[in-house]
Structure 1
Amino acid sequence: MLNYIKFLIYQLLGFSLAIPKLIKFKKSPDKFSSKETFEFIHNQAKKSLDFIDVKLTVLGKEKLPSEPVLFVMNHSSMLDSFILMASVDRPTGCLIADEPIWKNMPLIKDWTSLINCVYINRSNNRDGIKSIIKASENILSGHSMAVFPEGDLTWIKDPNSLISDFRSGALKIAYKAKCPIVPLVIKNSKDIYEGYHPVGKINSYPIEVEFLDPVYDHLSDTSLKSSNLGISIKNNMINNIRQFLNK
């Protein structure tokens, strides 16, 4: 549990010491760019992983389009959100499950709001559509978004899969925003966090993250169903993980 305690202390210190900065950003949001507000979260995530000796290798950044995108990631660990925020170096919000434990977390909820995260109610289709529209509006305003389309941890949904089935409705964000989709594959993250709750055991393992080629299929073929697109993206991500495992 030593790594978890170190990680927890780092979060408490990092977010507490940043309260003056948070107040400044909230008081005068028009005076600060999205890059300035995102920079704290990006650095906090990177330093958090360094602090628990999780070495992060990021590949494929040269493939990223200059325009805002929808990042699509697999989800094997409770630390994947930190891995995401440490890996991207552009303002990026995330689609987050509308659960009280995440939505009401002190300080964290303020920062998620500042970086344009969107909460989604997965049990209410009408509310879900509103969240998808909001996320697409963020992209149209110049702010990338990220989704974990599995909707839950891979090993919870299907212990025998490298990536479980997508809830492909989240991909409609890219349809509405008319933006590229960039698959982001997180490799070897399952065992760095043992557990399915905010309290768990953290292990120090190297993590590799790879940005795959941007996907434009939904833009060139507007009749392409998001479910079919989701299967294609998931299979490409699985092939990438297999190549990693076979090294």
Structure 2
Amino acid sequence: MLNYIKFATYQFIGFSLALPKLIKFKKSPEKFSSIEKFSFLNNQAKKSLDFINIKLTILGKDKIPEEPVLFVMNHASMLDSFILMASVDRPVGCLIADEPVWKNMPIIKDWANIIKCIYINRSNNREGIKSILEASKNILSGHSMAVFPEGDLTWIKDPNAIVSDFRNGALKIAYKANCPIVPLVIKNSRDIYEGFEPIGKIHSHPVEVEFLDPIYDHINNSKLKSAHLSNDIKNKMIDKIKDFRNK
């Protein structure tokens, strides 16, 4: 548990010291750029992973288009959100499960709001569609978004899967925003966090992140079914993870 205690302590100190900055952002959001608002979380995530000796190797960052995109990621660890924030050097909001443990977390919920994260109700289709439309509007306004389309941790959904099946609706964000999809493959994160709750054991292992080629298929062919595109992206992720394991 030592790593977890170190990690949790670092979060408490980092977010406490940033309270004056948070208050300024909340009081006068129009005075600060999205980059200024995001930079704290980006730095906090990088330093947090360094502090517990989780070394990130990032590949393919040059493939990310300059325009706003939808990042699509696999989800094997409770630390994947930190890996996302440490890997993407642009403001990005994330779709988050509309669960009390995340939605009501002090201070964190304020930062989530500042970077335009959106809570999605996975059990109510009507509310889910509203969240998808809101996320697409963020992209249309110039703010990239990210989603874990598996909808849950891989090994919770399917203990035998390398990447579990996607919830097809998640990709509808890119259809509505008419923006590129950038798959982001997180490799070797399953064993860095032991558990499924905000409290767990953290293990120091290297993690490789790879950005794949941006996808425009849904833009070039608006009739392309999201289920087909989801399966294609999932298989590309699986191939990359297999290649990593076979090194």
Q: TM-score, normalised by structure 2?
A: 0.99
Matched, 1:130 2:130: yes
In the other structure, the counterpart of 1:8 is 8
Partners in 2 of 1:57 and 1:201 — Cα distance? Answer: 22
In the other structure, the counterpart of 2:24 is 24
Offset at residue 156 of structure 1 (A): 0.7
> Cα deviations across residues 72-96 of structure 1 (Å, max 9, x unaligned)?
0000000000000000000000000
Partners in 1 of 2:42 and 2:118 — Cα distance? Answer: 18
Partners in 1 of 2:134 and 2:107 — Cα distance? Answer: 22
In the other structure, the counterpart of 1:72 is 72
In the other structure, the counterpart of 1:203 is 203
1:71 is matched by which residue type in structure 2? F
Q: Percent identity between the aligned chains?
A: 76
Offset at residue 246 of structure 1 (A): 1.0
Structure 2 matches for 1:191-230, cutoff 5 A?
Answer: 191-230=191-230
SS where residue 138 of structure 2 aligns?
helix
Structure 2 matches for 1:48-59, cutoff 5 A?
Answer: 48-59=48-59
SS where residue 184 of structure 1 aligns?
strand
SS where residue 210 of structure 1 aligns?
strand
Offset at residue 168 of structure 1 (A): 1.2
1:112 is matched by which residue type in structure 2? A
Partners in 2 of 1:160 and 1:125 — Cα distance? Answer: 28
In the other structure, the counterpart of 2:165 is 165
Structure 2, unmatched stretches of 5+, are none
> Cα deviations across residues 88-135 of structure 1 (Å, max 9, x unaligned)?
000000000000000000000000000000000000111000000000
In the other structure, the counterpart of 2:155 is 155
Post-superposition, which runs of at least 4 consecutive aligned residues in structure 1 deviate over 4 A? none
Partners in 1 of 2:86 and 2:137 — Cα distance? Answer: 24
Partners in 1 of 2:149 and 2:133 — Cα distance? Answer: 16
1:9 is matched by which residue type in structure 2? T
2:71 is matched by which residue type in structure 1? F
Partners in 2 of 1:242 and 1:95 — Cα distance? Answer: 27
Structure 1, unmatched stretches of 5+, are none
SS where residue 191 of structure 2 aligns?
helix
